[in-house]
Amino acid sequence: MIQFCPQCATRVQQRLFEGKLRPTCPACGYIAFADPKVAATVLLERAGKLLFIRRAIDPGRGRWCFPGGYVDFGEDPLLAAERECREETGLEVVDLELLDVTFDGRVIVITYLGHVAVEAEAQPGDDADFAAWLGPQELPPLAFRTMLRPIELWQKRAQSTGGE
Ligand SMILES: [Zn+2]
């Protein structure tokens, strides 16, 4: 929450605007809108399995998630997804397509489905200590509940295409 107006440095006040309290400048009328947090994540698919990494840091330490992270300001979420895969697994991903958009009450999570560009072993980055390809029958303890629906969508697609 901002304390002072970025335009004129006057102390802001909480005022109602379109039904919500917003930091508002009483001097110049500036209204501060907080932007939502956006994360991009990838279901990396190979031979009917998905790549999971085990988190070495909180939130969700010791639990498993997909490669992903926050989208930087001005960054295309698709490029953020590719970047996070590279940083967290050392893998280059291709063929990214949008699979799902979820909201956990705080973060908007954009989930892509993709494949590795070159056959290689995943090398967990700083945020993770293990990486594993796991099938739908062997799901590990998940770090985030927003992962469930994309997994279901992926399973449905795999069934309808006869499972790749
Ligand atoms: Zn102002």
Query: Cα–Cα distance between 39 and 109 in angstroms, integer?
Result: 5
Tens of pLDDT, residue by residue over 111-128, are 999 999 887 788 888 788
Distance 27 CA to ligand 1 centre (A): 5
Residue pair 32/3 in contact (Cβ under 8 Å)? The answer is no
Q: In terms of domains, do 87 and 6 share one?
A: no
Residues in contact with 19: Cβ distance below 8 Å, sequence separation at least 6, in sequence order: none
- Cα(32) to ligand 1 centroid in Å equals 10
Give the CATH number, domain containing residue 78: 3.90.79.10
In the 8-state DSSP scheme, what is residue 84? H
Residues 14 and 75 in one domain: no
- Going from the Cα of 121 to the center of ligand 1, the distance in angstroms, rounded, reads 54
Are residues 27 and 89 both part of a single domain? no
At residue 159, does pLDDT exceed 80?
yes
User: For 18-41, how does the pLDDT look when each residue is reduced to its tens digit (9 = 90+)?
Assistant: 999 999 999 999 999 988 999 999
Residues 29 and 46 in one domain: no
What average pLDDT score do residues 55-69 get? 93
pLDDT confidence of residue 59: 86
pLDDT of residue 162: 61
**pLDDT band at residue 160, thresholds of 50, 70 and 90?**
confident
Tell me the CA–centroid distance for residue 12 and ligand 1, in Å: 8
Q: Above 90 in pLDDT, residue 147?
A: yes
**Same-domain status, 67 and 96:** yes
**Domain around 7:** 1-34
Domain CATH for 24: 2.20.70
CA of 11 to the centre of ligand 1 (A): 8
pTM: 0.84
Q: From the CA of 13, how far away is ligand 1's center (Å)?
A: 10
Same domain, 77 and 110: yes
Q: List Cα–Cα distances, 152 to 21, 74, 76, 85, 122, in angstroms.
A: 38, 30, 25, 21, 24
Residue 9 pLDDT more than 60?
yes
Q: Are residues 13 and 85 in the same domain?
A: no
Q: Beta-strand (E) ranges in 13-162? A: 13-17, 20-24, 37-46, 49-55, 64-65, 68-70, 93-103, 107-116, 128-134
In the reported structure, the alpha carbon of residue 8 is separated from the centroid of ligand 1 by a whole-number distance in angstroms of 4
pLDDT reported for residue 117: 84
Number of domains in the chain: 2
Instruction: Give the E-state strand segments of 104-159 in sequence order.
Output: 107-116, 128-134
Q: Report how far ligand 1's centroid is from the alpha carbon of 72 (Å).
A: 27
